[in-house]
Amino acid sequence: MCGIFGIANQSDASQMTYLGLYALQHRGQESTGMSSSDGDQVYTHKSMGYVADVFSEDVIAKLKGINAIGHTRYSTAGDSNEGNAQPIVVKCTYGTVALVHNGNLINAVSLREGLEQQGAIFQSTSDSEVILHLLARSEGDSLLDALGETLAQVQGAFSLLLLTADSLIGVRDPNGFRPLNLGTVNGSYVLASETCAFDLIGATYLREVEPGEIVLIRGSELKSVKALMAPRLSKCIFEHVYFSRPDSIVFGRPVQTSRDLMGRILAQESPVDADLVVPIPDSGVSAAIGYSQQSGIPFAFGLIRNHYVGRTFIEPKIKIRHFGVKVKLNPVKDLLAGKRVVLIDDSIVRGTTSRKIVKMVRAAGAAEVHMRISCPPTLSPCFYGIDTPTKKELIASSHTVEEICKYVEADSLGYLSLPGLIRAVGGKSSEFCTACYTGQYPIDFVDAMPDAKAEDRQLDLWEASLKE
């Protein structure tokens, strides 16, 4: 996953983009970058690390101009390294063009092979670089024409922002996999993955960029082209389940509302006689409050999250029980002792972490531990931009709910149903991509499916990210 932000025709463009990226930090902590332009030149800075560390006052001062785009990256396709940080900036026949990309192309490998045979040279392993090669080779007279020609060739999930010396372009793929929102502040247009970025800079939310729409912003003018069509919409339902911030509006709906309803419907579908509703923080909190209020069972922070968890944590050489989980979560024994606890989380991936948490809660004195998950069982990996493990690694792909319950050693286990989830996000099932819960992928595969080895490597990252 990634977060993207852009603004045009605003005297503090780089400052605003810094704030926007800061609000989107949860969408990617690996690397971040920004390009700005002043009508004449494009300025870029990008690096591994957090927004607040990468951009100093000096750096922001050098990102001159009235237009800017930025990116926070959580690696999906392409290796995790500095070379894959975005924006990608190239010089080509359309001048200097900077690109940021949220999503994942499913025909990048095929396109790349074709381009290499035609003499293209690649400097990164990122699928996003393919888009710029196609753009540079297209025969459109204008950048907008060229972009239309380019996007007709790529398939998959892509919310894009492009920056040139004098304009800002926003694109959303025709399936609408990833969000992209349009706002306004001080007479300028602004684009962002989530509306929480608008809130921080005092911008007003106008609308979503529509699936298949290209918006070209130059100065105070916005031109919209409905360039791309797809047989169906496929909005990523997982944005509402886990990825987006609860204070954001995503796909036109407040995320908090969806999560609260997930908890409430879960309580109706999967009730339990218990004393306490305890979220696995932070991912399970919103649903747990909904569950508590629907069921009348008191809500409590029975697991305390350590806010200082970072990447550099050193594992102890000695054996400490539950260490991997305990370094992030500590049970409040006096709360849990003797209680029948409903533990709420937003997913079970491999089951190993859930199993450790259940054991830890029980060791802290809980009389019973009932797990409730605020979405259906995760059966299938995502190929549209979410880092999921291989099918083989997903416990629900090969085990029944009963078997999972036994594995995680819970007294009972309940998942939200798919209809329940659809109801919670307030939509029609035909508008969402629910492939991770159903295995029904809205676009056919072009490239071979990623090899299992690469996916295995992703697994720990994913589990970790869900719990972080």
Is the Cβ of residue 75 or residue 175 nearer to a copy of itself in the bound state?
75
**Using rule CB under 8 A, residue 92 touches a copy of itself:** yes
Residue among 3, 4, 8, 18 that touches a copy of itself (CB under 8 A): 18
User: Per CB under 8 A, which region of 211-219, 319-327, 385-393, 425-433 contacts a copy of itself?
Assistant: 319-327
Shortest distance in whole angstroms from residue 72 CB to a copy of itself: 10
Q: Which residues of 376-389 are buried (b: 16+ CB within 10 A; e: fewer)?
A: bbbbbbbbbbbbbb
**Using rule CB under 8 A, residue 224 touches a copy of itself:** no
Is the Cβ of residue 364 or residue 416 nearer to a copy of itself in the bound state?
364
Residue among 152, 304, 452, 454 that touches a copy of itself (CB under 8 A): 304
Which conformational region is residue 156 in: left (phi greater than 0), alpha (psi within -120 to 50 degrees), or beta?
Answer: left
**Using rule CB under 8 A, residue 137 touches a copy of itself:** yes
**Using rule CB under 8 A, residue 334 touches a copy of itself:** yes
**Using rule CB under 8 A, residue 466 touches a copy of itself:** no
Q: What angle, 0 to 180 degrees and rounded to 10, lies between the N-to-C axes of helices 401-408 and 352-363?
A: 50
Burial of residue 125 (CB within 10 Å: 0-12, 13-18, 19+) is middle
Using CA atoms, how far apart are residues 237 and 432, in angstroms rounded to an integer?
6
Residue among 153, 257, 412, 429 that touches a copy of itself (CB under 8 A): 257
Residue among 306, 398, 400, 438 that touches a copy of itself (CB under 8 A): 306
Using CA atoms, how far apart are residues 89 and 66, in angstroms rounded to an integer?
18
Return the H-helix or E-strand segment holding 50. Answer: none
Q: How many residues bind a copy of itself (CB under 8 A)?
A: 83
Using CA atoms, how far apart are residues 280 and 53, in angstroms rounded to an integer?
29
Using CA atoms, how far apart are residues 61 and 204, in angstroms rounded to an integer?
26
Is the Cβ of residue 27 or residue 172 nearer to a copy of itself in the bound state?
27
Is the Cβ of residue 75 or residue 234 nearer to a copy of itself in the bound state?
75
**Using rule CB under 8 A, residue 138 touches a copy of itself:** yes
**Using rule CB under 8 A, residue 454 touches a copy of itself:** no
Residue ranges in 273-302 that form contacts with a copy of itself under rule CB under 8 A: 282, 285-286, 289, 292-293, 298-301
**Using rule CB under 8 A, residue 335 touches a copy of itself:** yes
Starting at the edge strand that comes first in sequence, how are the strands of the sheet with 181-185 ordered? 42-48, 31-37, 67-73, 2-7, 188-192, 181-185, 204-208
Catalytic: 2? Answer: yes
**Using rule CB under 8 A, residue 15 touches a copy of itself:** yes
User: Per CB under 8 A, which region of 215-223, 253-261, 367-375, 451-459 contacts a copy of itself?
Assistant: 253-261
Closest CA to 195 of 246, 129, 144: 246
Residue 12, phi then psi, degrees to nearest 5: -105, 45
Shortest distance in whole angstroms from residue 22 CB to a copy of itself: 7
Is the Cβ of residue 82 or residue 402 nearer to a copy of itself in the bound state?
82
Is the Cβ of residue 18 or residue 238 nearer to a copy of itself in the bound state?
18
DSSP E strands in 275-374: the ranges are 276-279, 303-305, 329-331, 340-345, 368-373
Return the H-helix or E-strand segment holding 355. Answer: helix 352-363
x/- track of binding to a copy of itself for residues 399-438 (CB under 8 A): ----------------------------------------
For the chain, the first-to-last Cα distance in angstroms comes to 15
Q: Which residues are catalytic?
A: 2
